[in-house]
Protein backbone atom coordinates (compact mmCIF):
# COMPACT_ATOMS: atom_id res chain seq x y z
CA UNK A 1 0.00 0.00 0.00
CA UNK A 2 1.34 3.43 -0.95
CA UNK A 3 1.49 6.03 1.79
CA UNK A 4 -0.22 9.39 1.18
CA UNK A 5 1.94 12.09 -0.34
CA UNK A 6 3.65 14.41 2.09
CA UNK A 7 3.42 18.11 1.20
CA UNK A 8 6.59 20.15 1.21
CA UNK A 9 4.54 23.06 2.54
CA UNK A 10 0.93 24.05 3.08
CA UNK A 11 0.44 27.77 2.60
CA UNK A 12 -2.74 29.41 3.90
CA UNK A 13 -4.11 32.48 2.15
CA UNK A 14 -7.25 34.57 2.12
CA UNK A 15 -8.77 35.68 -1.19
CA UNK A 16 -8.62 39.45 -1.53
CA UNK A 17 -11.42 41.47 -3.12
CA UNK A 18 -9.33 42.69 -6.06
CA UNK A 19 -8.52 39.07 -7.05
CA UNK A 20 -12.15 38.45 -8.00
CA UNK A 21 -13.67 39.08 -11.42
CA UNK A 22 -17.05 40.54 -12.39
CA UNK A 23 -18.68 37.18 -11.67
CA UNK A 24 -17.47 37.35 -8.07
CA UNK A 25 -14.99 34.48 -8.32
CA UNK A 26 -11.21 34.43 -8.30
CA UNK A 27 -9.93 35.46 -11.73
CA UNK A 28 -8.17 32.49 -13.30
CA UNK A 29 -4.68 34.05 -13.54
CA UNK A 30 -4.55 34.55 -9.77
CA UNK A 31 -4.26 30.81 -9.22
CA UNK A 32 -0.83 30.96 -10.89
CA UNK A 33 0.10 33.81 -8.54
CA UNK A 34 -0.98 31.65 -5.58
CA UNK A 35 1.24 28.76 -6.65
CA UNK A 36 4.13 31.15 -7.30
CA UNK A 37 3.77 32.43 -3.74
CA UNK A 38 3.70 28.84 -2.49
CA UNK A 39 6.88 28.01 -4.41
CA UNK A 40 8.67 30.80 -2.51
CA UNK A 41 7.43 29.13 0.69
CA UNK A 42 8.99 25.88 -0.53
CA UNK A 43 12.34 27.63 -0.95
CA UNK A 44 11.94 29.14 2.49
CA UNK A 45 11.21 25.73 4.02
CA UNK A 46 14.05 23.95 2.22
CA UNK A 47 16.75 26.63 2.12
CA UNK A 48 15.73 29.50 4.42
CA UNK A 49 14.76 31.90 1.62
CA UNK A 50 14.77 32.38 -2.13
CA UNK A 51 18.03 34.29 -1.81
CA UNK A 52 19.62 31.37 0.06
CA UNK A 53 18.51 28.96 -2.68
CA UNK A 54 20.07 31.19 -5.33
CA UNK A 55 23.24 31.53 -3.22
CA UNK A 56 23.60 27.75 -3.53
CA UNK A 57 24.12 28.26 -7.25
CA UNK A 58 20.73 27.44 -8.69
CA UNK A 59 17.38 29.02 -9.49
CA UNK A 60 14.22 27.67 -11.08
CA UNK A 61 12.14 29.00 -13.96
CA UNK A 62 8.68 27.91 -15.06
CA UNK A 63 8.66 25.84 -18.24
CA UNK A 64 5.01 24.76 -18.19
CA UNK A 65 1.90 25.07 -16.02
CA UNK A 66 -1.40 23.25 -16.30
CA UNK A 67 -4.45 24.25 -14.26
CA UNK A 68 -7.64 22.38 -13.59
CA UNK A 69 -10.47 24.20 -11.88
CA UNK A 70 -12.73 22.11 -9.63
CA UNK A 71 -14.75 24.62 -7.61
CA UNK A 72 -14.94 28.43 -7.58
CA UNK A 73 -13.21 30.49 -4.91
CA UNK A 74 -14.61 33.83 -3.81
CA UNK A 75 -13.68 36.94 -1.87
CA UNK A 76 -12.62 36.26 1.72
CA UNK A 77 -12.39 32.48 1.22
CA UNK A 78 -9.65 30.93 3.33
CA UNK A 79 -7.61 28.69 1.06
CA UNK A 80 -4.68 26.35 1.53
CA UNK A 81 -2.11 25.73 -1.18
CA UNK A 82 -0.46 22.34 -0.61
CA UNK A 83 2.76 21.72 -2.53
CA UNK A 84 3.89 18.22 -3.53
CA UNK A 85 6.93 17.05 -5.43
CA UNK A 86 5.71 14.93 -8.33
CA UNK A 87 9.02 14.25 -10.13
CA UNK A 88 12.68 15.18 -9.69
CA UNK A 89 14.69 14.98 -12.89
CA UNK A 90 18.29 15.81 -13.72
CA UNK A 91 17.61 19.45 -14.61
CA UNK A 92 13.92 19.87 -13.84
CA UNK A 93 11.22 19.09 -11.34
CA UNK A 94 7.45 18.77 -11.52
CA UNK A 95 5.45 20.21 -8.65
CA UNK A 96 1.77 19.50 -7.96
CA UNK A 97 -0.22 22.16 -6.17
CA UNK A 98 -3.62 21.52 -4.61
CA UNK A 99 -5.69 24.55 -3.67
CA UNK A 100 -8.39 23.70 -1.17
CA UNK A 101 -11.11 25.46 0.83
CA UNK A 102 -12.37 23.71 3.95
CA UNK A 103 -10.73 20.50 2.72
CA UNK A 104 -12.52 20.66 -0.66
CA UNK A 105 -10.33 20.66 -3.77
CA UNK A 106 -10.86 23.89 -5.74
CA UNK A 107 -7.95 23.81 -8.20
CA UNK A 108 -5.04 21.62 -9.21
CA UNK A 109 -1.91 23.01 -10.80
CA UNK A 110 0.96 21.00 -12.24
CA UNK A 111 4.08 23.03 -12.99
CA UNK A 112 7.36 21.95 -14.54
CA UNK A 113 10.33 24.00 -13.37
CA UNK A 114 13.77 23.95 -14.95
CA UNK A 115 16.85 24.47 -12.83
CA UNK A 116 19.04 27.26 -14.19
CA UNK A 117 22.35 28.88 -13.40
CA UNK A 118 21.41 32.20 -11.72
CA UNK A 119 24.11 34.14 -13.56
CA UNK A 120 23.39 32.94 -17.09
CA UNK A 121 19.81 31.62 -16.76
CA UNK A 122 20.86 28.57 -18.76
CA UNK A 123 19.68 25.09 -17.85
CA UNK A 124 21.93 23.47 -15.25
CA UNK A 125 21.77 20.51 -12.92
CA UNK A 126 21.30 21.58 -9.30
CA UNK A 127 24.12 21.14 -6.79
CA UNK A 128 23.94 17.93 -4.73
CA UNK A 129 22.69 19.71 -1.58
CA UNK A 130 19.78 21.26 -3.49
CA UNK A 131 18.91 17.97 -5.14
CA UNK A 132 18.98 16.20 -1.75
CA UNK A 133 16.64 18.79 -0.22
CA UNK A 134 14.04 18.13 -2.92
CA UNK A 135 14.73 14.37 -3.01
CA UNK A 136 13.44 14.03 0.55
CA UNK A 137 9.96 14.64 -0.93
CA UNK A 138 10.12 12.27 -3.91
CA UNK A 139 6.87 10.28 -3.79
CA UNK A 140 7.11 6.61 -2.89
CA UNK A 141 6.55 4.26 -5.79
CA UNK A 142 3.81 1.64 -5.54
CA UNK A 143 5.01 -1.96 -5.63
- Tell me: pLDDT of 85 over 60: yes
Q: What percent of the chain has pLDDT over 90?
A: 92
Stated as kind and residue range, the H or E segment containing 33 is helix 29-47
Does residue 3 form part of some domain? Answer: no
Average pLDDT on 36-50 reads: 97
Does residue 46 form part of some domain? Answer: yes
Number of Cβ atoms within 10 Å of the Cβ of 42 = 22
State whether the Cα torsion 133-131-121-111 is positive or negative.
negative
From the list 139, 125, 141, 131, the residue with the least C-alpha distance to 1 is: 141
Residues 131 and 143: their CA atoms lie apart, in Å, by: 24
- What pLDDT shows up at residue 96? 98
Q: What is the pTM of this model?
A: 0.93
Average pLDDT on 70-82 reads: 98
Does residue 17 form part of some domain? Answer: yes
Enter the DSSP assignment of 8.
S
Does residue 140 form part of some domain? Answer: no
Domain that holds residue 91: 9-135
Does residue 52 form part of some domain? Answer: yes
> What's phi and psi for 59, nearest 5 deg?
-135, 170
Amino acid sequence: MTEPRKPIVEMPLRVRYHECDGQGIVFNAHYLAYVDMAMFEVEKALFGSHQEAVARGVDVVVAESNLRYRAPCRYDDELVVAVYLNHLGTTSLIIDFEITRDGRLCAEVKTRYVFVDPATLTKAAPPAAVREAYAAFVPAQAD
